[in-house]
Structure 1
Amino acid sequence: MTKGAQPTAWRAVIRAGVLVAAMLLAAGGLTTAAAQTTADCLECHSDKSLTKKRDGKTVSLFVDEAKFKGSVHAKANCIDCHVDLKGGDLPHEETLKPAQCASCHASEVAQHDASLHGRAIARGDPLAPKCSSCHGTHEMVRRSDPRSPVQPSRIPYLCGRCHSEGGRVQKERVIHQSNIINNYTESIHGEALMTKGLTVAATCVSCHTAHSIRKHTDPKSSIARQNIAATCATCHAAIETVHRKVIEGKLWERESHVLPACVDCHEPHKARRVFYDQGMADRDCLRCHEKADIKSSKDGRSLRVRPDSLAGSVHVKIRCSQCHTDVSPSHVRPCETIKTKVNCASCHAEVGDQYRVSTHGQLESQNDPNGPTCKSCHGTHGILGKANPQSPIFPTHVPTLCAECHRTGEKAAKRYKGTEKRIIENYTESIHGKGLLESGLVVTATCTSCHTAHSVLPHDSTTSSVNRHNLPQTCGKCHEGIAKQFARSVHSELVTKTDQKLPVCEDCHSAHTISRTDADGFKLKIMGQCGSCHKEITESYFETYHGKVSRLGYTKTAQCYDCHGSHDILRVSDVRSHLSRQNVVQTCQKCHPGANRRFAGYLTHVTHHDLHKYPVLFWVFWAMTSLLVVTFTVGGAHTLMWLPRALKMRQEFGRHPPAKEGELEYERFTRTQRVMHITMIVSFISLALTGMTLKFSYTKWASVVSHVLGGFESAGFIHRAAATIMVALFAYHLYDLVQMKKRTKKSWKDMVLGKDSMMFNRKDLDDLIGSVKWFLGKGKRPKYGRWTYWEKFDYFAVFWGIFVIGSTGATLWFPEFFARFLPGWFINVATIVHSDEALLATGFIFTIHFFNTHLRPEKFPMDLVVFTGRMTVDELKHDKPEEYEQLVADGKLEEHLVVPYQPIVIRAIRFFAWTALALGTMIVLWILYAMIFSYA
């Protein structure tokens, strides 16, 4: 015996060790018999590397102690089987005799020795199986143990090691049967054992015995012709009763030698249900029933049977009398004794049981004319298999078959009182229906895939395949991977124990209108489905950018399932969750590749109304709200006080007349300033229109505007382009101020604090006080200079707005960049500030600014000076008396007089101005409507 490649010296060491141990044991008063216990043997044989050479091959001598202790021989000693070791010394000789099973199993060994296998061993046949070939060696377990190789359900595989087609035994030895294992698996015995799990079904050893396997020509063989009936009768005890229509029962006892053996009809290894004629031939039936004019005497229906349809049916080997069991061959007209309908359940017992308890079966049992029977779906004599494209139950034909009753307006549809409408029509438009009917994908789900073929039950039945508690298993038959994910999710009844209704497949996907999950309609609908259970969370989602753009029909943004998962939703505390601390960054990175831990700190489902939970957001929101309220209150009060005085001025002086022919006008704004203002108008209206559409995404008008602009993706592009233009315009204005300083050669102090500067000064305060007094009838109208205090306020409001709205907008545009050095919750702050400041700017410009510039009575309906840059001298004298007096005093008025624009230019300017005014007014009305009537 060798231990791998260990040297002989090592064996000597082992022997010496064993000898020393034996001496020590002897000195301790132990008996010599103890030296041959199982433990002694395992000292060497528990080593996995212990091997030996046998017939040129390396053979392992390792014995797994755990398996041995779990075997049926656990209480036996090694020497009980290896008898030549009794009284021997250890280590033992390298070559031992085979284990002696006969010591305990004498009868079985005697049978085996006399069998084909035993005699082959005696001849020295290397392919002959020994006891260990079937039962194993040291790990034998009882026959009933599922691990046992001789457990009934494993017998075919055990015998198949040698007898399967292509095996050495089948190739090198004379075996009279071919395809033995393949045929057995397809037989009724094999199907019962291997498909149905019926362990009492006949296996190889049931017919051939376990140890006394002999040739079929051997009189002692269990499969010898004269012994076959007895062999089969060990299971099929009432043979004479079963075959009463074919053979008189007494013959089985008196004249068995003249009877056909079982295998004459039931072919060995291929045994199926009865296929032979039962007392009469089909030809006898067809003599009458193949005639075209044969009809029923009761109701006149045709009784014709086409031989060609029979020949092509799955029942081609089934005889008429096997279905029509009431026939009497002794009668002139055998079928006259038929009183009952064909009972398909006599062969299809399991299917019959399913049908009887189904809705269809219950209707049929009540003799309801609307109850479908077997022949309603399968036909009668020309039944084809479901894999046959001509069969009515071929997958592509199933919807049409079911539609005969369930299509809108048909009998089943009229009786149905449930919530599902247009069932067949909706199915044909679903992903399953299109896959089946348009693409020919026969593995897709049909009616029977979900409702089953024979166990059709209403959805409120606990045993129905479409009962909500059973739906995950039903859908999981096709969507196995998804079903496994769902079973581990928080929505699974296996995970979440609650009295509340948990969602199942149909809650999100529907029953008959299932669409592709990447379809826009499904993506937009699914958020409402989540909201049916998670109302508050969904409402907070729709306050985020993701939710708002989704409301506008944009589907390329993060929705519930993008972050939480779809079928594998887990608690955030679960490390496997998409939103766990371990995975949340990777989840964000699916849409935001540059996302980091700070970015993941963005607060997704938050409300700025919760002071205790989100104090920063609470105070930011109310600060912005206060700013908005104060601004509109002061601006509105100023406007309301001004309005009566402005109306009185209009009555006294009327509207400023245009310049007379040949009269020059005063140029108040340069061309650069006019172009910048027009550019600002275009960009601001674009920003307001697209921004307010997003802010008030829950309104109908926002959805319409978004679609008019080409969808939110287009609107987003317009918004960002307009923002870029606005920032560029701001930068250019600063550049123009620097250039102006150079042209005028003024110091920065004069530029900023000079008399004509846009910076607020003491005169602006005096003008404000004077204006209020004038509004209230307490004083005269102030002499306004080049820039009034409200014009300066508008000017610096733009500076403030561009800085605040621009900076927060940049944060929202490039959140990944800003999250590198700002916390994620700052994005929430930026959202509030950007949104509310934009609302303030839009509302102020299109109300207060519009009034101050265009809508005050003395200017109504439009002041074109900001577009043309020109005004009459009389208008200058009235509007800006101080500026006029200063120009006259300095003698510079003439320098600023220019020729008026041509009427066609004025008309073009008016068209642009009116368009801008109309858009601004509409935006304000939309905002008011949203805040008064639609605010959620």
Structure 2
Amino acid sequence: MRLLLAGLFSLALAAAPTAQDCTSCHEVDLAKFAATKHGSMACTDCHSSITKLPHADKPAPVKCATCHEDQVKAYGKSIHGVAKQNGMADTATCKSCHGPTHQIVASSDPASTVNKKNLADTCGACHSNPDFLAKHKIPFAKPVEAYRLSVHGREVAKGNASAASCSDCHGSHDILPSADPKAKVNRANVAETCGVCHNDVQAVYADSVHGLAVKRGSKDSPTCTGCHGEHNILAPKEAGSLVNAARVSTVTCGRCHGDERLNSRYGFGDKVPAFQDSFHGLAIRGGQQTAANCASCHGVHNILPSADIRSTVNPANLQKTCGQCHPGAGDKIAHSKVHVRTAGGIEHISVKWIRWAYYALIPMTIGFMLFHNGLDYFAKLRRHKPHHGTGEQLPRMNKTFRITHGMVMVSFILLVITGFALKFPEAGWVKVLGMNGAGLVRGWVHRIAAVVMMAATVMHVIHLALVKRDRVILFELLPGWQDAKDIANALRYNLGLTDKRPTFGMFGYAEKMEYWAFMWGTVVMAVTGLLLWAQNWSLKHFPIWVLDAATAAHWYEAILATLSILVWHWYLVIFDPEVYPMDLAWLTGKASADHLRETRPEYYAAVVKKQEEAQKDRAE
């Protein structure tokens, strides 16, 4: 009997310990453990080195590879596994990702640390830790935070099981450094990785100029992440997205195609600055998202060389491409140069000649005005001669002239502000006026002002044609040889070379020059402006170089007109010491009799005589 009991006791000692045996020393809630992924397993299934009790103080580590051989093998080759083999104590292990040993649940369980909804927090335990990132010199700034704000992260947070999580892009057990050719996020493999979810896009991209370049091993050609970003991918309609209509041309496409180093390597040319200076580019810079950007013409994922017959910018397809925004665009568009700069570079000969003509005209004209007015100003200050002594006023502008002048004055100011706001959308004064981002409003104000100015000019011409009494100004404004003599005499007088002050008739050379320059400028601005305004009609009937020439002429004439008003007209009516602070004839219709008597004695006498005759007629 003793031998039998001793044998049974020895067998009991040799039998594998039960879960109840283990919990007599280890605090494990068996009820909760039963609900875990490994709940059906015995303790010794994982702790296989323990065959009897009591066991060694330090039993052999659990070998997950016993059941998960493939996963452990993949982990061993991963960036985390290699780091562990190299002695990195704080690298990710099975427990780091899957949680405490006795609490591991299936990844489909919402409580799992590797559930798609929780994966960002799990990875973020290390990759959101600034001390960890600094210690291991990981260069990516806040990747997990960026992911949470991305379109993928937000969709995962909503419970969208099809949205991408960390493991979908980087892998799970087999995560490799991006430099590794086998890594899912290696630039050569990114398109295939994204293509798991976006397979239709990936197929199109693979055949594009960018996709083929990447396939050939180019390190400069963009992949999905090159355009959309990495962890911070946003929907195209979001303002911060790299492919948002307002940013795609400058921030995304322009980053490579405007890069000097890549330009010298691949010969992109100056297409990016040309686009930036074009109407489309300026409109986008001003806040319009409906204007054409790079993707509007070249496509998105299906970008092909222009020589490819399938390309949207192939000459055979240009009419259709441009016709998306410009219905009725003619076939001449296919034979025109695109991305033309109005300030040099590849340009039509007409644009070149217009530019050089204004390059000569603007400095010469404004230079003469500055010299003439500066000389006149300081000469008058030196003479210290009082003006407007009696305060008597004489008629100078009748009501009709004042109305048309007022229309021109208001419309011109609006045209200058809205025109230059288009050209310099990032300027501080544009933001102060609240015109940045309001491209549609700015455009309509500009067009309405243009119509008002043209209407005022037409009204003026009709008025002169119908009213014989006022038509006299046309004859008085005609330039003649005497005007050249008057300019010379005025310069001699202001230089102190003669004591005789030149006098003028109803209008002097200054008014004549301004009047005909205004008429010429109005015609130029009206014709070019209408061509640009009616762009669909223009594209149907003319080649693109006509619009390029109109753009150049409109721009340079605007500069000349604005400077002329500031330097010439404002001096005549405001800054001239003899009329300062302002000649109010444009408002009251009357001018200083003293000033007229001194500068236009014959005209003064004629006005006085006319007034006297009118008074005599009324008396009779």
Q: Shorter-normalised TM-score: what interval?
A: 0.7 to 0.9
1:390 pairs with 111, 127, 136, which one?
A: 111
Aligned to 1:726: 453
For the 8 Å contact 2:388–2:593, the answer to whether it is kept is no
Go from structure 1 to structure 2 and tell me whether the alpha carbon gap of 1:285 and 1:537 turns closer, same or farther (over 3 Å shift): farther
Cα deviation, 1:853-885, whole Å, max 9, x if unaligned, reads 211222233332222222332233234322111
Report the TM-score when normalising by structure 2: 0.87
Q: Distance in 2 between matches of 1:635 and 1:314?
A: 89
Q: Distance in 2 between matches of 1:658 and 1:398?
A: 90
Find the structure with the greater CA-based Rg.
Answer: 1
1:334-483 alignment runs, 5 A limit: 336=56, 339-379=59-99, 380-411=101-132, 413-437=133-157, 439-483=158-202
Aligned to 2:19: 286
2:49 counterpart SS class:
coil
Gaps of 5+ in 2: 1-13, 259-269
1:532 pairs with 249, 255, 258, which one?
A: 255
1:684 pairs with 379, 392, 412, which one?
A: 412
Go from structure 1 to structure 2 and tell me whether the alpha carbon gap of 1:576 and 1:684 turns closer, same or farther (over 3 Å shift): same
For the 8 Å contact 2:214–2:221, the answer to whether it is kept is no
Q: Distance in 2 between matches of 1:778 and 1:735?
A: 44
Aligned to 1:667: 395
Aligned to 1:713: 440
Q: Which amino acid aligns with 2:227?
A: C
Go from structure 1 to structure 2 and tell me whether the alpha carbon gap of 1:339 and 1:366 turns closer, same or farther (over 3 Å shift): farther
Aligned to 1:591: 325
Q: Distance in 1 between matches of 2:347 and 2:436?
A: 38
Q: Which amino acid aligns with 1:310?
A: F
Q: Which amino acid aligns with 1:404?
A: A
**In the alignment, does 2:388 pair up with 1:656?**
yes
Aligned to 1:28: none
Cα deviation, 1:284-318, whole Å, max 9, x if unaligned, reads 53214446xx4xxxxxxxx4332333332333444
For the 8 Å contact 1:639–1:848, the answer to whether it is kept is yes
1:505 pairs with 217, 220, 224, which one?
A: 224
2:394 counterpart SS class:
strand
Go from structure 1 to structure 2 and tell me whether the alpha carbon gap of 1:608 and 1:887 turns closer, same or farther (over 3 Å shift): closer
Cα deviation, 1:626-681, whole Å, max 9, x if unaligned, reads 222332233233223323333234x122x43583xxxx632311233223222222
Q: Distance in 1 between matches of 2:473 and 2:582?
A: 31
2:30 pairs with 307, 329, 341, which one?
A: 307
Aligned to 2:512: 792
Q: Distance in 1 between matches of 2:322 and 2:433?
A: 27
Give me the identity figure in percent.
30
Aligned to 2:233: 514
Q: Distance in 1 between matches of 2:527 and 2:183?
A: 59
RMSD: 2.9
Q: Which amino acid aligns with 1:652?
A: K
1:871 counterpart SS class:
strand
Q: Which amino acid aligns with 1:383?
A: I
2:477 counterpart SS class:
coil
Go from structure 1 to structure 2 and tell me whether the alpha carbon gap of 1:879 and 1:311 turns closer, same or farther (over 3 Å shift): farther
Go from structure 1 to structure 2 and tell me whether the alpha carbon gap of 1:416 and 1:525 turns closer, same or farther (over 3 Å shift): farther
**In the alignment, does 2:458 pair up with 1:768?**
no
For the 8 Å contact 1:785–1:883, the answer to whether it is kept is yes
Aligned to 2:290: 556
For the 8 Å contact 2:454–2:526, the answer to whether it is kept is yes
Go from structure 1 to structure 2 and tell me whether the alpha carbon gap of 1:610 and 1:483 turns closer, same or farther (over 3 Å shift): same
Higher relative contact order (CA 8 A, sep 6+): 2
CA drift at 1:477: 1.8
Q: Distance in 1 between matches of 2:219 and 2:187?
A: 13
Aligned to 2:554: 834
Cα deviation, 1:766-817, whole Å, max 9, x if unaligned, reads 4334323323434422222222221122222221122111111111111111
Aligned residues: 586
Go from structure 1 to structure 2 and tell me whether the alpha carbon gap of 1:501 and 1:890 turns closer, same or farther (over 3 Å shift): closer
CA drift at 1:544: 1.0
1:78-97 alignment runs, 5 A limit: none
Aligned to 1:3: none
CA drift at 1:687: 0.9
1:486 pairs with 190, 205, 214, which one?
A: 205
Q: Distance in 1 between matches of 2:389 and 2:77?
A: 94
1:666 counterpart SS class:
strand
Go from structure 1 to structure 2 and tell me whether the alpha carbon gap of 1:579 and 1:893 turns closer, same or farther (over 3 Å shift): farther
Go from structure 1 to structure 2 and tell me whether the alpha carbon gap of 1:587 and 1:496 turns closer, same or farther (over 3 Å shift): farther
Go from structure 1 to structure 2 and tell me whether the alpha carbon gap of 1:576 and 1:843 turns closer, same or farther (over 3 Å shift): same
For the 8 Å contact 1:563–1:579, the answer to whether it is kept is yes
Q: Which amino acid aligns with 1:286?
A: A
Cα deviation, 1:705-750, whole Å, max 9, x if unaligned, reads 5644662232222211211221122222223223423xx3x8x7x6
1:604 pairs with 330, 338, 341, which one?
A: 338
Aligned to 1:183: none
Which has the higher mean CA deviation after the structures are superposed, 873-882 or 560-569? 873-882
CA drift at 1:751: 6.5
2:210 counterpart SS class:
coil
Go from structure 1 to structure 2 and tell me whether the alpha carbon gap of 1:800 and 1:591 turns closer, same or farther (over 3 Å shift): same
Go from structure 1 to structure 2 and tell me whether the alpha carbon gap of 1:502 and 1:587 turns closer, same or farther (over 3 Å shift): same
More helix by share: 2
Q: Distance in 2 between matches of 1:425 and 1:611?
A: 44
CA drift at 1:280: 7.4
1:577 counterpart SS class:
coil
Aligned to 2:263: none
Q: Distance in 2 between matches of 1:463 and 1:658?
A: 95
